[in-house]
Amino acid sequence: MKTKIQKSLSRDSFPFLAILLALMVFFSPRIYGNGQIVAPETRETLAPYDLRIEYLTNPLGVDVSQPRFFWKNNHSERGQKQAAYELIVSTSPTAEKGDMWETGKVNSDSSIQIAYEGKALQSNQTYYWKVRIWDEQGRVSPWSQVARFDTGLLSPSDWKGEWIGGDNLLRKEFELPSTPRRARVFISGLGYYELRINGRKVGDHVLDPGWTTFSKRALYVTYDVTRALRKGRNALAVMLGQGWYKDRALMLQLNVEGEDGSLTEIHSDTSWKTAAGPIIEDSIYNGENYDARLEQPGWDQPGFEEKDWKPAQKVKAPGGVLSAQLMPAIKVIETIVPLKMTSPAPGVYVFDLGQNISGWAQLRVRGPRGTDVRLRFAELLYDNGMINQENLRSARAEDHYILKGEGEEIWEPRFTYHGFRYIEVTGYPGTPKIDSVRGRVVHTAVAPVGNFSCSKQILNDIQRIILWGQKTNLHSIPTDCDQRDERMGWMGDAQVTAEEAMMNYDMAAFYTNFLRNIRDVQGDDGSITDTVPHIWGSRPADPAWGTAYPLIAWYMYQYYSDKRILEEHYDSLKKYVEFLKSKAENGLVKYSYYGDWVAIDKCPGSLVSAFYYYYDVKILAEAARILGKQQEAEAYFKLAAQIKEAFNREFLDQATRNYAGGSQTANTLPLFIGLAPDKARGGVWGNLFNDLVYKHDSHLTTGIIGTKYILDVLTMFGNSDLAYDIMTKTDFPSYGYMIKNGATTLWELWQKREGPSMNSHNHPMFGSVGAWFYRALAGINLAPDSIAFKKLIIRPQMVRDLTHASGSIYTINGQVSCSWEKGDRRIKLNVEVPVGSQAEVYLPVFKLRNLKLYEGQVLLWSDNELKNKAAGVDSLELKGGNFILKVGSGSYHFILEGE
């Protein structure tokens, strides 16, 4: 790759490069004398880009009556901001006017969360929209490209079909009088469905639809099937799996508009036919058994002879509402060819993917009809090379493929998934090749938005296993693990990882859905449950698990400016807080089941619960304030103050300045959230520091709760060096210890265990520290009281021997990035701030003297004084060992030199 680029550069690109260079010189701001800036003569205006509706790109099936619009802005000059926008929504892609909505020119710097206020949207329509903006100098941008969205079925009465079932194959043939002009299918196939039209799979979703509390809500998915259909005879075919529904039921509606204006509607009813297919058994935990001899060729095509097919039956409806699945679907994300194949016993082949994944294996095989190939999955191997499935507990994780004996057969399961690194193949006819099986990585297709890397390899390794652990545990809900007999939406795991997830992936639509799932489990008494949907665990949830509800709602507000989430959930959040309050004794909620789960040094669960009670009440108070509910805000802030008092009365030892025995977690939580009284803060901090450094040689003894906050607390107290020491350890207990022992995803426990006890090797919960990489090492922070990265604090911690770090987050308002390099007498800092945002940038000067600070070619500071100004840099001062710069949008390249 590299050589190719170099070659093409040297041969043909010189004239191009020369012109580019000339343009760069011409357009770069020129500085004259005393810091006076002369702007470039010409400006390239740029249209808004990345248009979204409800966080999604050109979504289908939007069932929100006032969907929200999002776009991002670009500008060729620094320090820019949108001053106004104009948006039109119309029924035609080429319209110059908005027949549905025209905002006119709106003076606003907001380019996100703009709620629709046009004419009432109709069911099953396509709407087109575009937007343009004005900058602060009154210059208008070109119109954006046209984006679109489709509405779903907005009212229950739009659904004409009924829930049907039978065997796992369902089909229906029908006639279309003309070529379709527009066709949409709406489908909810429980537990899982695969939809096929005229012999081909529709769309690229797998394990669809997402998991919900089916008695409250089932999700439906909308597809554009205009091109899959044709004039004349067509066939709709659906394969159903059990999934979490543990049964089969289909609701489907197809609406077709013909070129001739004809309207055809097909829906699920008892005129459909059903028969058993090749999937003999399917279970999420146990696997899938597929007998290819039972395939019915042509069943998904028109003209199929429905011999032995029976009429579909009406089945019991799941019971709740149908809602559009407005989040990325689960998909096959990548395919991995194994690194290694071994044969630890005759006829037993073990493939190593080199990476623990969630998904399944694709099998390639040739052999006699009736041969049963067995695939078993595991995270671990025994010393003798055989797979170790002990930690899967009761999950069998075993697929079978029975050959039909017709040349090369390629198969993969549809309605199960496994968490594994190793695949054991037995019953294979002959000797398999290394690529006879491939790993298929399967999870919710959230877009990656973050990047972090630095000069310390162990931290890059940790970042890598955090990412793998995180994404492979997104399966329409955040799961605790992907391999054993759980894979539940454990709320504690969900809340501790949420911020890390939001920095690494676009989680907005995903969590919007999850929060609704949480609301769906709420009882009349306000209680919620440990897992959502509720299968395992208790009602009421451990407060450290239930807090996922207020906390994720709050993060949605902080990271995406999602005030609607606060509005829509306010009443339920309040009910939840009132529930906690009803359980409080003397101002403290003390009941706890898990507390600081899987800690090495126990912190009393009652302290953890009391901490989250305080946190939840504060969030509710903030939400009330933001929503203009002044009185409620005051009441809850007052309650928070009472909890604070009770907390210290109960847990703070005034003599030793330790909380509840002084474990790392017990002292961390009150420091993190400001519960520790001012006069005790220093003492508590000292105890925490001593415990970490002297008692544990810079190792954590925290469980998942303490771990989430402890590094931030160390940075808060100016001890990022210590946080770095902790994160770079490789002996027990540490992240490096996991990596040294071969982890490719995070473990559930600090300890290395591989037996039948609880020891998943893919549990994302300790990945919460990933947020600290961005905040501390890459220095990307939301300013206090700011939301959606409108105000940033860029303050990289240039710790110890770290010589470089870089991070970027493609935020809801655009790209934020920071990268730095530290040499002997030179520090480079590159910062990128999106249009409309401002950043306060901290550049530490360490012990350097005779400082010179440049931005690009411009000398900003030398001889202890300001020299010149650079475009976009509003202020610069040297204070407390840092240069502090206030900058507007744009890319900056700072260079600090000294002696």
Binding stretches for ligand BGC (CB under 6 A)? 480-481, 486, 490, 492-493, 594, 597, 763, 765
φ/ψ of 624, rounded to 5, equals: -60, -40
CB-nearer residue toward ligand BGC: 749 or 818: 749
Q: How far is the CB of 483 from ligand BGC (least distance, A)?
A: 10
Q: How far is the CB of 492 from ligand BGC (least distance, A)?
A: 5
| E strand intervals along 824-866 | 826-833, 838-844, 852-855, 858-862, 865-866
φ/ψ of 814, rounded to 5, equals: 125, -175
With the CA atoms of 570, 573, 577 and 578 taken in that order, what torsion angle do they form, in degrees rounded to the nearest 10? Answer: 70
The 8-class DSSP code of residue 643 comes to H
CB-nearer residue toward ligand BGC: 63 or 500: 500
CA–CA separation, 439 vs 336, rounded Å? 5
CA–CA separation, 176 vs 170, rounded Å? 20
With the CA atoms of 893, 894, 895 and 899 taken in that order, what torsion angle do they form, in degrees rounded to the nearest 10? Answer: -170
CB-nearer residue toward ligand BGC: 479 or 667: 479
- Return the residue matching tokens 């360490």: 846
Task: Spell out a b/e string for 793-803, using b for 16 or more CB atoms within 10 Å of the CB, else e.
Answer: bbbbbbbeebe
Q: How far is the CB of 597 from ligand BGC (least distance, A)?
A: 5
> What are residue 249's DSSP bridge partners?
190
> What are residue 782's DSSP bridge partners?
792
Q: How far is the CB of 767 from ligand BGC (least distance, A)?
A: 12
Q: How far is the CB of 372 from ligand BGC (least distance, A)?
A: 33
Q: How far is the CB of 667 from ligand BGC (least distance, A)?
A: 22
CA–CA separation, 807 vs 829, rounded Å? 12
CB-nearer residue toward ligand BGC: 480 or 601: 480
CA dihedral for 365, 367, 369, 371, sign (positive or negative): negative
Q: How far is the CB of 745 from ligand BGC (least distance, A)?
A: 14
The 8-class DSSP code of residue 129 comes to E
Mapped onto helix, strand or coil, the DSSP state of residue 206 is coil
Q: How far is the CB of 439 from ligand BGC (least distance, A)?
A: 23
CB-nearer residue toward ligand BGC: 288 or 486: 486
> What are residue 336's DSSP bridge partners?
439
Q: How far is the CB of 530 from ligand BGC (least distance, A)?
A: 6
CB-nearer residue toward ligand BGC: 46 or 758: 758
Strand 658-659 versus strand 652-653 pairing type: antiparallel
CB-nearer residue toward ligand BGC: 277 or 537: 537
> What are residue 332's DSSP bridge partners?
442
> What are residue 147's DSSP bridge partners?
129
Q: How far is the CB of 77 from ligand BGC (least distance, A)?
A: 49
Both structure tokens of 21: 């260079």
Q: How far is the CB of 669 from ligand BGC (least distance, A)?
A: 18
Both structure tokens of 101: 């909505």
Q: How far is the CB of 285 from ligand BGC (least distance, A)?
A: 14
Q: How far is the CB of 209 from ligand BGC (least distance, A)?
A: 24
CA–CA separation, 443 vs 206, rounded Å? 9
CB-nearer residue toward ligand BGC: 471 or 618: 471
CA–CA separation, 760 vs 466, rounded Å? 14
Q: How far is the CB of 605 from ligand BGC (least distance, A)?
A: 11
Q: Count H helices, E strands: the chain?
A: 16, 50
CA–CA separation, 542 vs 494, rounded Å? 13
CA–CA separation, 636 vs 620, rounded Å? 7
CB-nearer residue toward ligand BGC: 541 or 860: 541
CA–CA separation, 709 vs 559, rounded Å? 18
CB-nearer residue toward ligand BGC: 582 or 757: 757
Q: How far is the CB of 543 from ligand BGC (least distance, A)?
A: 13
CB-nearer residue toward ligand BGC: 474 or 765: 765
**Which residues have a Cβ under 8 Å from the Cβ of 764 and sit 6 or more positions away?**
466, 469, 470, 473, 478, 480, 493, 497, 745, 746
**Which residues have a Cβ under 8 Å from the Cβ of 654 and sit 6 or more positions away?**
680
Q: Both ends of the chain: CA-CA distance in Å?
A: 40
CB-nearer residue toward ligand BGC: 684 or 765: 765
CA–CA separation, 286 vs 141, rounded Å? 56
**Burial of 424 by CB count in 10 Å (0-12 exposed, 13-18 middle, 19+ buried)?**
buried
In sequence order, what DSSP letters do the residues of 360-400 get, joined into one string?
Answer: EEEEEE---TT-EEEEEEESEE-TTS-EE-GGGTT---EEE
Amino acid identity for residue 627 in this structure:
L
CB-nearer residue toward ligand BGC: 208 or 486: 486
Task: Spell out a b/e string for 695-724, using b for 16 or more CB atoms within 10 Å of the CB, else e.
Answer: ebebbbbbbbbbbbbbbbbbbebebbbbbb
Q: How far is the CB of 559 from ligand BGC (least distance, A)?
A: 23
Q: How far is the CB of 377 from ligand BGC (least distance, A)?
A: 18
Helix 605-626, helix 664-673: angle, nearest 10: 10
**Inter-residue contact 517 to 532 (CB < 8 Å):** yes
Both structure tokens of 348: 């037993």
CB-nearer residue toward ligand BGC: 371 or 701: 701
CB-nearer residue toward ligand BGC: 341 or 765: 765
CB-nearer residue toward ligand BGC: 597 or 615: 597
CB-nearer residue toward ligand BGC: 605 or 836: 605
Q: How far is the CB of 387 from ligand BGC (least distance, A)?
A: 21
CB-nearer residue toward ligand BGC: 415 or 490: 490
CA angle, 625 then 626 then 628, to 5°: 65
